[in-house]
Amino acid sequence: MCTDTGPEMTATPTILIENDRVRVTRWSFAAKGDRTGWHRHEHDYVVVPEFDGTLEIDLPEGEHMTADLTTGVPYYRPLGTEHDVVSGNDFPCSFIEIELMDRKG
């Protein structure tokens, strides 16, 4: 994860592994509406959901999307991705974010 430049973060990041090659963070959302805060990713990354449900994603220039996630089904995003990720679920949820530290933007 990287620069936070917008709405206040209410989700909880817990770094599980961090070294010169990878950073693994669990992002926990206690309630619907919890958010990561606006940020731009400085590294390529993979997300592994730990729940079945949705995330609401605010994008640059006022764009918005809903992502339907399935437990254990990963997805990849490149460095430079900008967004604020918000829980759209009525239950606590989390995902694992794996940043690949060998490429930096």
Please state the rounded mean pLDDT for residues 63-80: 96
Please state the domain count of the chain. 1
Residue 80's pLDDT is what? 93
Range of the domain at 56: 12-100
| Residues 38-64 pLDDT 10s | 999 999 999 999 999 999 999 999 999
Domain containing 50 — which CATH number?
A: 2.60.120.10
Residue 2's pLDDT is what? 47
- pTM greater than 0.85 (yes/no): yes
Please spell the DSSP secondary structure of the chain, one letter per residue: ---B-SSPP-SEEEEEEESSSEEEEEEEE-STT-B--SEE-SSEEEEEESSSEEEEEE-GGG-EEEEEE-TT--EEE-TT-EEEEEE--SS-EEEEEEEETTS--
Provide the mean pLDDT of the chain. Answer: 92
Residue 102's pLDDT is what? 83
53: in domain: yes
54: in domain: yes
